[in-house]
Amino acid sequence: MLLNGWKKGWIAMLLAICITAAGCQPAKEAGPAALPEANQAEQPQEIVLAAPRDLAPGPKDAYYTSLILYVWEPLIAGGEDGEPAPKLAESWEMSEDGREWTFKLRDNVRFHDGEKLTADAVIANFARYRKVSPKSSPFYTLNIDTSYPGLQNIAKVDELTLRLSFKDPQPTLPYAMANFASPIYSPNSFDENGDFKGLPQGTGPFKLIEHQKDAFALLEANPDYYGPKAKTGKIRVRVIPDPDTRLAALKAGEIAGVMDLGALPPEQARELLKDERFGVSHTASTISHYLHPNGKEGPLRDVRLRRAVSLAIDREMIVRELYRGYPTATVNILNATSPFHKELKVSYDPAEAKRLAGEVLGDKRQPVRLIVPSYGIDRYPYKAQAELIQHQLKDIGLDVEIRILDGAAFKEAQAKGDYDLALATQGLPNAEPFTILNQYMASSGSANKNYSLGYSSERVDSLLKEAAGLLDVEERRRIYDELQDIAAAELPTIPLFNDASLIAYDKRIQGYKALLYGTSLPELEWAP
């Protein structure tokens, strides 16, 4: 039976009320949770932030918490310029032959459980590295063999000094030790397997006082911290995996900011900046975005076609249109945050790309499989990026078929060479570029093998071997420069852009900004 006119009108009115209420009502006065009282005389005791994943995976993790929660500290930190910076080790010195490194620890540092930082405590941590390596983590794998290759002995020199002895010279050891490669905890933190017995007892400006897995981590300012104290008494970092829910929680005043990789997709940043209540902070990131070519089989074995693909992709357009201009376009395999990074000109030349592709393909069109990981789609606009690349490669005779695969299937397809092109992200393992260059460019490099890049060059293998034995850092730099040039010319992988760290915050807090790795969490406080 058809509805009468007034009944239809009544239903339409109900729907209209719902829709317009969502669109028109100001959300400013709303918001049920922690923040709304911020402007009142008495501010809430804790500040609530949110991250897409649990930044404290727990006692079986290599680190228990991410470095960006400031619970534990490394011996050597990565500075904002990418160079090694003192943290728990206040100074270090290399022996003349490069086989011994002596570290002087900072004095008057205590762990959260009251234990004093001493050479013995650091040696106990190195014993744990040895016991658990390789120890997985969502952040970085803890592996003494890759961070400290050929480590033979750790000796206590005095209460605050220790010496590491190596089989071969390790002139760039501080670069390899930065951040996740030298975490230090109270020796009482570990059980007999090297796992954490309870909450981690680090030396950082925050203590982890409560943790509910996949729900939240509660941090409390460490009153005995040796450096500048954290400005907020308590910070709760909630886990909100869905980006739309995170944004809604920020707008509703439930959280004061977001943190961690992919916390704020670029399109959300643009939307958020329309509202003057919120701010966005960004900086360079250690994440690089690549387009892996299958160099083992298929058309991309030919370096001319790889160059054609590289020249046909308008990187600036991808960065501008899909990432709102936050990242930087690059053709360099080495991330721009590395202190060894070399500036290389980014070229976009469709005519030359067409000519090169024509040399390889003739008049034929070539089908190409572009695989995209689903985790990339969750964090980045990878679907749109794949479609843009599909469109740009059409002009050089490549008919791109896009396949979206879950993470495990994506890795399997790369390992088996069941693809032609793959969108991929790569973090910088440490400030020493040897690791990443060796992984991608050495004939036996693990990334080269696992991604079926099929890259092999006698010159590169010999340069890597030479670099490994060099004591002088400037000599190493010369070799790394040449390797970057070779990578840009021969394209074992096709670099697209260097990512940016992007965070958002409610302007009722201050001092919160994105850093090269993490945020300025200890500086965070309520705005006056």
Partner 1 sequence: MGSLTRYLCRRLLAAVPLLVGATLIAFLLGVAAPGDPAREALGMSGVREPTEQELQAMREQLGLHRPLAVQYGLWLIKAAQGDLGVSYITKEPVAKELLRRLPHTLALAIGAVLIAAMTGIPLGIWMAARRNRWEDHLGRTVALLLVSVPGFWLAILFILLFSETWGLLPTSGFGGWRELLMPSAVLASGTGAVLMRLSRAAMLEVMNQNYMLTAKAKGLGELGVLIGHGLKNMLIPVVTVLGSSFGGIVGGAVIVEVIFAIPGIGRYAVEAIYRRDYPVIQGYVLFTSIVYVLFNLLVDLVYTWVQPQIRLGGAVR
Stretch that binds partner 1, among 298-306, 358-366, 402-410, 507-515 (CB under 8 A): 402-410
Name residue 427's amino acid.
G
State yes or no: cis peptide before 57, omega within 30 of 0: no
- Which token pair is 64? 């228990």
How far apart, in Å, are the Cα atoms of 307 and each of 391, 404, 487? 17, 24, 11
Instruction: Check binding of 407 to partner 1 (CB under 8 A).
Output: yes
Q: Considering the complex, state which of residue 314 and residue 506 has its C-beta at the smaller distance from partner 1.
A: 506
Instruction: Print the binding letters for residues 350-389 with partner 1: x by CB under 8 A, - otherwise.
Output: ------------------------xx--------------
Q: Which is nearer to partner 1, 411 or 507 (CB)?
A: 411
When the beta carbons of 139 and 148 are compared against partner 1, the nearer one is 139
Least distance between partner 1 and beta carbon 252 (Å)? 5
* Tokens found for residue 258: 């977001």
What the block records as the tokens of 142 is 């803890």
Interface pick for partner 1 out of 5, 41, 153, 215 (rule CB under 8 A): 215
In 3D, which of 434, 252, 236 has the Cα closest to residue 334? Answer: 434
Over the window 226 to 255, marking each residue x when it contacts partner 1 by CB under 8 A and - when it does not, the resulting string is ------------xxxxx-xx--xx-xxxx-
Give the pair of three-digit tokens for residue 437: 């260059």
Residue 439 contacts partner 1 per CB under 8 A? yes
Among 214, 224, 395, 485, binds partner 1 (CB under 8 A): 214
Q: According to the binding rule CB under 8 A, does residue 11 interact with partner 1?
A: yes
For partner 1, the binding residues in 444-473 under the rule CB under 8 A are 446-447, 449-451
Identify which of 320, 391, 313, 317 has the alpha carbon closest to the alpha carbon of residue 349. Answer: 313
139 touches partner 1 (CB under 8 A): yes
State in Å, rounded, how far the first CA of the chain is from the last one. Answer: 63
Per-residue binding string, partner 1, 184-213, x by CB under 8 A, is -----------x----------------xx
In terms of CB distance, is 189 or 366 closer to partner 1?
189
Residue 412 in the binding site for partner 1 (CB under 8 A): yes
Q: Figure out which of the listed residues 16, 33, 351, 527 binds partner 1, where binding follows CB under 8 A.
A: 33
Question: Could you give the 3-state DSSP secondary structure of residue 374?
Answer: helix
Q: Can you tell me which of 79, 102, 104, 137 binds partner 1, judged by CB under 8 A? A: 137
Residue 149 touching partner 1 (CB under 8 A): no
Q: Can residue 409 be called a binding residue for partner 1 (CB under 8 A)?
A: yes
**Measured distance CA(5)–CA(409) in Å, rounded:** 55
- Of 307, 305, 318, 400, residue with least CA distance to 357: 305
What is the C-alpha separation between 366 and 397, in angstroms, rounded?
A: 6
Least CB distance from residue 296 to partner 1, whole Å? 15
Quote helix, strand, coil % in the chain, to nearest 5: 35, 25, 40
Phi (first) and psi of residue 102, to 5 degrees: -110, 130
Of 43, 47, 55, 57, the residue at the interface with partner 1 (CB under 8 A) is: 57
- Told to check if 161 binds partner 1 by CB under 8 A, we report no
Kindly state the DSSP code that residue 240 receives in the 8-state scheme.
-
Residue 247: closest CA among 265, 234, 226 = 265
Does 426 participate in binding partner 1 (rule CB under 8 A)? yes
**Which contacts (CB < 8 Å, 24+ apart) does range 225-230 have?**
226/106, 226/108, 226/109, 226/110, 228/522, 229/205, 229/522, 230/70, 230/205, 230/206, 230/521, 230/522
Q: Using CB under 8 A, which of 115, 124, 141, 302 touches partner 1? A: 141
Binding residue for partner 1, selected from 12, 13, 16, 27, defined by CB under 8 A: 27
Q: Of 344-352, 405-413, 502-510, 512-520, which part binds partner 1 (CB under 8 A)?
A: 405-413
Residue with tokens 């004061």: 256
Per DSSP, the three-state class of 210 is strand
Q: Which of 380, 404, 492 is nearest to 447 (CA)?
A: 492
Whether the CB-CB separation of 66 and 263 falls below 8 Å is answered with no
Residues 494-513 as x/- pattern, contact with partner 1 by CB under 8 A: --------------------
How many of the chain's residues bind partner 1 (CB under 8 A)?
Answer: 69
Q: How far is the CB of 2 from partner 1 (least distance, A)?
A: 9
Report the distance separating Cα 72 and Cα 122, nearest Å: 13
Q: Please give the residue ranges that form the binding site for partner 1 (CB under 8 A).
A: 1, 3-4, 7, 11, 18, 21-22, 25, 27, 29-33, 57-58, 60-61, 134, 136-141, 143, 146, 195, 212-215, 238-242, 244-245, 248-249, 251-254, 374-375, 405-409, 411-413, 415, 425-429, 435, 439, 446-447, 449-451
